[in-house]
């Protein structure tokens, strides 16, 4: 076995031994032609290879979250898994560094480039784990643009390590084996309209094409998944956000909607759990949606059941003590109508 092969096997063993459910290796060559977020040199000028890996989220907590029975467990699990997978990146990076190969860990989430016009607020990651993951066979692109895996669906968290070590790249998974059947439940469960229904994006990485639904403005997801608003336009279901400010139609209207929603967001009582996020007012992000990720299970019947959980679980209101509760749309309207104008303005226009 050559040195590159030996080191590649060692790296994969180290990651698998830390409970990763998949690990892949991408190189400068297999990422050639990709978008700026696949440029290993941005992270490490001498970077030649990247190791990318996934840890799974708790499926039971996901179902309680989607039924709007329990918001805390998904938030706590998400935080724990983010810390674990980023910690694994640090561990592998240190190991390779000690072996004589300069390496840099790329954390799972909430790290952005500072050299863009608006700095971190442009939310451009140093490296896109998902491109690395699909190119190296960790998972497929689902229509949603999320990375999906045969056993865990889209419910995983990814992180990477860039290293100057020369490693042997792993192949993409065979496209024909992907479970994504274009069911579009990811789109139907997104109150922000983040995924285009008719346009696709194609990305070419090292001569291989990958396709998924075009993503519209990321401000959409920020507005809804960030908890600034959450009532679906039907008025029949919501995310875990108790706010029901209008969700605009057009991309360019989301920035204004976000600005208008910040003051009430800051004034609303918050849970004492969530994920620390540098861009969120108050620094603690309450994860309120994630529907496109959580719903996308490998079994179609499970996806359908989860869609029913989302749309049949009612709408969330906030009680005076700050607790969140899912009730029927009619009961939510009744409760809002009894609030003082000042309190009601925290939730709707
Ligand atoms: S929800 Fe359906 S269409 Fe969307 S990514 Fe999953 S399997 Fe594909
Ligand atoms: S997390 Fe929620 S708001 Fe964001 S894209 Fe997915 S479904 Fe849409």
Place of tokens 């959409």: 220
Whether residue 148 contacts residue 180, with contact meaning beta carbons closer than 8 Å, is answered with yes
pLDDT value at residue 121: 87
Region 1-17 average pLDDT: 93
Domain ranges of the chain: 3-58+70-180, 218-344
Which residues, 6 or more positions from 216, have their beta carbon under 8 angstroms from its beta carbon? 193, 194, 195, 196, 251
Contacts of 274 (CB under 8 A, 6+ apart): 75, 79, 284, 285, 286, 287
pLDDT higher than threshold 90 for residue 17: no
Residue 149 is classified by DSSP as B
Ligand 2, atom nearest to 223 Cα: 3
Please give the pLDDT value at position 103. Answer: 98
CA of 143 to the centre of ligand 1 (A): 5
Beta bridge partners of 212: 201
pLDDT digits (tens, 9 = 90+) for 218-239: 999 999 999 999 999 999 999 9
Model pTM? 0.95
**pLDDT grade, residue 281 (50/70/90)?**
confident
Nearest alpha-carbon partner for 31 in 6, 48, 11: 48
Pocket of ligand 1, beta carbon within 6 A? 142-144, 148, 180-186, 295-296, 303
- CA dist 178 and 172 (Å) reads 11
Ligand 2 center from residue 231 Cα (angstroms):
13
The DSSP line for 279-304 is TSTTSEE-----HHHHS--SSHHHHH
Ligand closest in space to the Cα of 186? 1
Q: Closest ligand 1 atom to the C-alpha of 300?
A: 7
If you measure from the C-alpha of residue 216 to the centroid of ligand 2, how many angstroms do you get, rounded to a whole number? 11
Res 308: pLDDT? 98
Nearest residue (CA) to ligand 2, atom 4: 221
Angle between helix 59-66 and 300-312 (nearest 10): 40
User: Residues 169-209: pLDDT tens digits?
Assistant: 999 999 999 999 999 999 999 999 999 999 999 999 999 99
* Per-residue pLDDT tens over the stretch 310-330: 999 999 999 999 999 999 999
How confident is the model at residue 122, as a pLDDT? 86
Would the CB of 190 count as within 6 Å of ligand 2? yes
* For the CA of 220, the nearest ligand: 2
């Amino acid at each position: 076995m050559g040195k590159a092969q030996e080191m590649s096997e060692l790296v994969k063993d180290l990651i698998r031994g830390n409970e990763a459910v998949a690990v892949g290796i991408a190189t400068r060559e297999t990422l050639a032609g990709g978008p700026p977020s696949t440029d290993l040199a941005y992270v490490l000028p001498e970077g030649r290879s990247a190791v990318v890996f996934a840890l799974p989220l708790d499926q039971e907590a996901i179902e309680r979250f989607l039924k709007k029975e329990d918001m805390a467990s998904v938030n706590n699990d998400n935080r724990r898994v983010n810390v674990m997978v980023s910690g694994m990146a640090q561990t592998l990076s240190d190991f390779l560094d000690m072996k004589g190969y300069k390496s840099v860990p790329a954390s799972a989430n909430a790290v952005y480039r500072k050299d863009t016009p608006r700095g971190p607020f442009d939310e451009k990651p140093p490296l896109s784990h998902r491109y690395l993951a699909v190119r190296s066979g960790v998972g497929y692109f689902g229509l949603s643009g999320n990375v999906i895996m045969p056993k865990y669906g889209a419910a995983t968290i990814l992180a990477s390590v860039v290293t100057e070590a020369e490693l042997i790249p792993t192949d993409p998974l065979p496209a024909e084996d992907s479970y994504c059947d274009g069911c579009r439940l990811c789109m139907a469960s997104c109150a922000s309209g983040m995924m285009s229904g008719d346009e696709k994006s194609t990305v070419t990485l090292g001569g291989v094409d990958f396709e998924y639904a075009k993503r519209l403005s990321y401000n959409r997801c920020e507005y809804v998944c960030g908890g600034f608003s959450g009532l679906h336009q039907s008025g029949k279901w919501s995310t875990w956000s108790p706010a029901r400010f209008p969700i605009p139609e057009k991309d360019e209207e989301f920035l204004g909607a976000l600005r208008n929603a910040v003051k009430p967001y800051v004034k609303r009582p918050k849970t004492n759990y969530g994920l620390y996020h540098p861009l969120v007012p108050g620094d603690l992000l309450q994860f309120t949606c994630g529907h496109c990720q959580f719903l996308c299970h490998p079994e179609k019947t499970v996806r359908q059941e989860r869609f029913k959980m989302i749309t049949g679980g009612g709408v969330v209101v906030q009680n005076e003590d700050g607790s969140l509760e899912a009730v029927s749309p009619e009961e939510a309207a009744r409760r809002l109508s009894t609030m003082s104008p000042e309190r009601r303005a925290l939730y709707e226009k």
